[in-house]
Amino acid sequence: MQAPGNQPGKIVVVGSLNADLTIYTERLPEPGETLHGEGFTVNPGGKSANQAVAAGKLGADVSLVGAVGRDANGTMLLESCAAANVDVSHVHQVPGVETGVAVVTVDASAENTIVISAGANGTLSPGDVAEAGAAFEGAAVLCLCLEVDLDTVEAAAKAGAEAGATVLLNLSPYAPIRPSLAALSDVLLVNAHEASQFLDGEQIPGPDAEAPAWEPVLRHLVARGLPSAVVTLGADGSVVLDSRAEAGKRIVRIAPTRVDAVDTTGAGDAFTGGLAARLAAGDPLAEAAAFASVGAALATTKKGTQAAYPDASAVFARLKA
């Protein structure tokens, strides 16, 4: 892994910005049940904004393409991204449409439920991607998720591929994707459940499985047009599947980083941002995933998302511990 001072290449993130409306409870409610909460916050969020901020706080050169409303939540999101040195010049402020929101419930064990309303995110179009063409020039990595229209995601993937960027596709929130989008993507980022859905219900090996058990998963991913993937396993770490790696390194298990988690909201976005930052700095996929895993774990030790994301020195310090 390269030294912390190494200057990473450019990252472009295309997608969502949401205001996170979060309430903390002892446990998550059952259907139809009302519970007492223990605190309420409104924080900057949205998968793409989170990924951009996570990478920006790690020292990456990041541009964000997205949309917010002309409201207080939109202003909050733009300010949070800018504070992390994220270029927001390609984030449109859309009149007459509210900024997207996510309603989040977090329980005492740091688990969460999230419901999103697209708001201005729903207006982001392939035309906006084309308008932001300058952002893709010289890009090393492109981050995508599925919180915006799939046509927009595919247009961004095409722009990223044409620019020579490594295209990271976070298949969340899960939706079926076209083969054309898979073919434009270099690395698929999924949890075990999403991986199973993408592979038509295929059983994903458990956290204690050895590398040979993951070979069928890698073969099926390649057959679907994905050369590489990172499958996250929550508190059990992750697995890197890379058909382009040399023999013996095609399947790499990334051990979990043990922490006292208080809020797992946005941890997957911290992982994606960390992965992008290190890939842009030139790290191989497995090394980048090891770095990202530590960053995501550290992000769970504080409440909220963007404010909880660590800087590079904190991640490297934990890696050396």
- Residues serving a catalytic function are 269
The answer for residues whose C-beta is within 8 angstroms of residue 24's C-beta and 6 or more apart is 37, 38, 39, 40, 105, 106, 107, 303
What is the pairing mode between strands 238-242 and 228-232?
Answer: antiparallel
Peptide bond into 310 cis (omega under 30): no
Q: Are the CB atoms for 192 and 238 separated by under 8 Å?
A: no
Q: Which residues contact 203 (CB under 8 A, 6 or more apart)?
A: 196
Task: Report residue 131 as tokens.
Answer: 């308008």
CB-facing half-sphere around the CA of 298: CA atoms within 13 A: 23
